[in-house]
């Protein structure tokens, strides 16, 4: 069930990113909240898995490993998630 939500969420994030929507925008904040929830659900709450994904995207910014998540999109969401706290 969680996996089926990723493609639409990623498409919505990319749309906002491509429009140049600031990460502080409420629409992006809502996407960031869901992104964070899905990351936690997908990883079973294992922060080591989440950190490994972050390291992968930092080291391989142009490698879309799945679902069109590239370094630019991952960075955009990272900044948006950071604004949630």
Domain map (residue ranges) of the chain: 2-82
Quote the pTM value: 0.81
Residue 66 has a pLDDT of 59
What is the full per-residue pLDDT of the chain (85 aa) written as tens digits?
667 888 999 999 999 999 999 999 999 999 999 999 998 888 888 888 888 877 877 777 666 555 677 778 888 999 999 999 6
Residue 50 has a pLDDT of 80
CA atoms within 13 A on the CB side of 38: 18
Phi and psi angles of residue 37, each rounded to the nearest 5 degrees, phi first: -60, -45
Asked whether the CA dihedral 54, 39, 5, 2 is positive or negative, the reply is positive
Structure-block tokens of residue 17: 């990113």
**Cα 47 to Cα 43, 57, 82, 85, distances in angstroms:** 8, 15, 15, 16
Q: Name, in order, each residue with C-beta under 8 angstroms of 38's C-beta and a sequence gap of 6 or more.
A: 2, 5, 6, 9
| CA–CA gap between residue 13 and residue 83 (Å, rounded) | 15
């Amino acid at each position: 069930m969680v996996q089926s939500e990723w493609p639409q969420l990623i498409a919505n994030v990319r749309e906002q990113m491509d429009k140049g929507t600031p990460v502080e925008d409420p629409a992006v904040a809502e996407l960031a909240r869901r992104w964070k929830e899905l990351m936690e659900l997908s990883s079973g709450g294992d922060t080591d898995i989440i950190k490994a994904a972050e390291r992968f995207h930092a080291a391989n910014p142009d490698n879309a490993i799945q679902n069109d998540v590239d370094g630019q999109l991952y960075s955009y969401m990272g900044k948006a998630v950071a604004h949630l706290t």
